[in-house]
């Protein structure tokens, strides 16, 4: 009698699958078990080096220029020399214009004289940056137009006369 019952249950599930498109529980369980079985070195599961993975990410997201910009900022000392790097640092790179902040206006003037050499070194080492122009600026002086030292209105004037 139990054999007939198993045959009847099996027949019911097969007919339901044929009519409704739903699979029986055992078939679903078997398919799920087969999908979960994977082998460590199946196709697409080979180990990859970190370098190839990072290079792929950089290429796919288009980060080449940002990585080169970071390389320029991080290796400024090797590019221009120790003494120049102690007195200046790259501040911004926008639309092919590299802005370099200097510790004094004398250093900014000196680096303007060396501009062609620095630009050549940058183009040789990092051509993907496409730096067209260098802008050297001195230190920022404090501005008294706003803040506690500002004077409202026209400011102090000579009232005699």
Tell me, yes or no, whether 44 lies in a domain.
Answer: no
Q: Is there a single domain that holds both residue 15 and residue 71? A: no
Q: Is there a single domain that holds both residue 74 and residue 115? A: yes
Predicted structure pTM score: 0.55
Q: Is there a single domain that holds both residue 84 and residue 129? A: yes
Can you give the pLDDT at residue 33? 65
**Domain that residue 10 falls in:** 2-33
Tell me, yes or no, whether 8 lies in a domain.
Answer: yes
Tell me, yes or no, whether 72 lies in a domain.
Answer: yes
> Nearest CA to 118 among 102, 94, 100?
100
Can you give the pLDDT at residue 157? 61
Q: Is there a single domain that holds both residue 26 and residue 70? A: no
Q: Find the largest Cα–Cα distance for the chain.
A: 126
Tell me, yes or no, whether 51 lies in a domain.
Answer: no
Strand 97-102 to 133-137 pairing: parallel
Tell me, yes or no, whether 27 lies in a domain.
Answer: yes
Can you give the pLDDT at residue 56? 79
Can you give the pLDDT at residue 63? 78
Count of domains observed in the chain: 2
Averages of pLDDT over runs of 10 residues in the chain (161 residues) are 68 77 72 66 73 78 80 86 87 86 88 89 85 86 68 63 51
Can you give the pLDDT at residue 36? 63
């Amino acid at each position: 009698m139990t054999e007939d019952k198993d045959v009847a249950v099996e027949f019911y599930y097969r007919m339901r699958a044929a009519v409704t498109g739903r699979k029986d529980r055992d078939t679903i369980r078997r398919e799920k078990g087969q999908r979960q079985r994977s082998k460590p070195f199946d196709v697409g599961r080979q180990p990859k080096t970190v370098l190839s993975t990072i290079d792929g990410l950089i290429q796919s997201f288009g980060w080449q220029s940002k990585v080169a910009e970071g390389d320029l900022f991080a290796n400024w000392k090797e590019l221009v020399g120790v003494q120049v790097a102690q007195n200046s640092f790259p501040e911004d790179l926008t639309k092919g214009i590299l802005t370099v902040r200097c510790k004094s206006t004398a250093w900014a003037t000196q680096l303007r004289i060396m501009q062609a050499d620095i630009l050549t070194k940058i183009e040789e080492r990092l051509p993907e940056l496409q730096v067209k122009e260098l802008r050297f600026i001195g230190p920022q002086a404090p501005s008294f137009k706003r803040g506690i030292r500002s004077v409202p209105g026209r400011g102090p004037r000579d009232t005699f006369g």
